[in-house]
Amino acid sequence: MTIKALVARLFDTGSRFIRRYPGVVALFGFVSGVASFVLVDRQAGLAKVVALIMLVSWVWLMLEKPLRRAIHRLFGWDMPPPLLHYATQLVHQESLFFIVPFFFITTTWHSGQAVFTLLLGAAALVSLVDPLYYRWLARKRWLYLAFHSLTLFAALLTALPIMFHLSTPQSYQLALVIAVLLAIPSLGALFPYRGWRRGLAIVGLALVVGLCGWFGRTWVPPATLWLTEASVTLSMDDAEREPGQSLRELSEAQLRADGLYAYTAINAPRGLKERIYHEWWHDGRRVDRIALDISGGREKGYRAWTHKRNFPPHAQGKWRVRVVTEAGQMIGVLRFRVTE
């Protein structure tokens, strides 16, 4: 049997199997995606392999048409549409079920980040349910392109810090640029007319999408950074790097006696070095912003704290310490109240 005949037989067998057992594809995407997250959490080296597979699969997806032409030219065989459709769906499932656990862990749920994460969860559900994916999503070109871009953007946010040890702001900027650039050829389908107006409309829409993504970054969780422990306390054991008793309420006299510590342990990928900030807010107004440098790799999170002594004359009321990245993405928040 020639190579050409063997490839044709393999494609045909795969196509018939997928048409006969479509649920197996969905189950495989779900199980492999969740397993990838679990393995990433256990083995940093394997995390890079999983992330690389994700990015390669997305490159393949973006180059689907040229690859189809290349296969036809080399082997004289057209890939059946059902096989391509299921392959695309599998990439979406694998990517979404790999990244959704990261975002569910890192989301601060009483903030706008909940909207982005719930949107990803809804996208994962749509990719798993064939009637929703094929009869509702795939038939609406603009909706399918939005779904595609959202998944790619979230996958890059998760993969880039793991693979290249990029900081969260660097990863966000690069992921946004890549997602917008790769979406430009697809945006052309939204404008049927030709000429310079079409090109101008495509570029304008791409810029709008990019600006919305940049100014909406505070609504996007930092996919690979999350709090493993956090507390507001009156004392710290510097030698053991352990906080004292965690407080939810304290008097102004206690506050002014020796200041207050905000302690956080932050999980980050191995090799990642990141600058974060503790932002101290009093009754809705920011009164201080203190920088901290953290390093990834510690299983229980990198332990760091800020010690604030300088408080306003009237410190009573609601306080919160927002833990944020340099790009303004919130990792978590600590809340406490100062009484008389």
In terms of average pLDDT, the best of 15-24, 133-142, 168-177 is 168-177
Residue 93 · residue 30 · CB < 8 Å: yes
Quick one: 159 and 239 in the same domain?
A: no
Average pLDDT over residues 280-306: 90
Quick one: 125 and 204 in the same domain?
A: yes
Write down the pLDDT at residue 241. Answer: 87
**Encoding tokens for residue 153?**
């953007």
* Residue of 172 and 200 predicted with greater confidence: 172
> What is the tens place of the pLDDT at every residue in 25-61?
656 656 665 665 565 554 445 556 655 666 666 666 6
pTM recorded for the entire structure: 0.79
CA distances from 5 to 9, 11, 74, 78 (A): 6, 10, 12, 13
Q: How far apart are the C-alpha atoms of 274 and 168, rounded to whole Å?
A: 7
What does residue 101 show for φ and ψ, rounded to 5 degrees? -60, -35
Considering Cα of 112, then 36, then 294, then 177, what sign does the dihedral take? Answer: negative
3-state per-residue secondary structure call for 56-68: HHHHHHHCHHHHH
Write down the pLDDT at residue 43. Answer: 47
Quick one: 62 and 109 in the same domain?
A: yes
Write down the pLDDT at residue 42. Answer: 46
How far is the first Cα of the chain from the last one, in angstroms, to the nearest whole number?
87
Quick one: 112 and 134 in the same domain?
A: yes
**Domains in the chain: how many in total?**
2
Quick one: 247 and 181 in the same domain?
A: no
> What is the tens place of the pLDDT at every residue in 92-132?
877 787 788 889 889 999 889 999 999 999 998 888 777 78
Write down the pLDDT at residue 233. Answer: 94
Quick one: 37 and 172 in the same domain?
A: yes
Residue identified by tokens 């007319």 is: 193
Q: Are strands 330-339 and 249-251 parallel, antiparallel or unpaired?
A: parallel
Average pLDDT over residues 266-295: 91
Quick one: 206 and 303 in the same domain?
A: no
> What is the tens place of the pLDDT at every residue in 208-265?
889 999 999 999 999 889 999 999 999 999 888 899 999 999 999 998 888 899 999 9
Write down the pLDDT at residue 95. Answer: 79
Quick one: 212 and 120 in the same domain?
A: yes
Residue 328's domain spans which residues? 226-339
Q: How far apart are the C-alpha atoms of 151 and 94, rounded to whole Å?
A: 10
* Res 86 pLDDT > 90: no
Write down the pLDDT at residue 160. Answer: 84
Quick one: 44 and 139 in the same domain?
A: yes
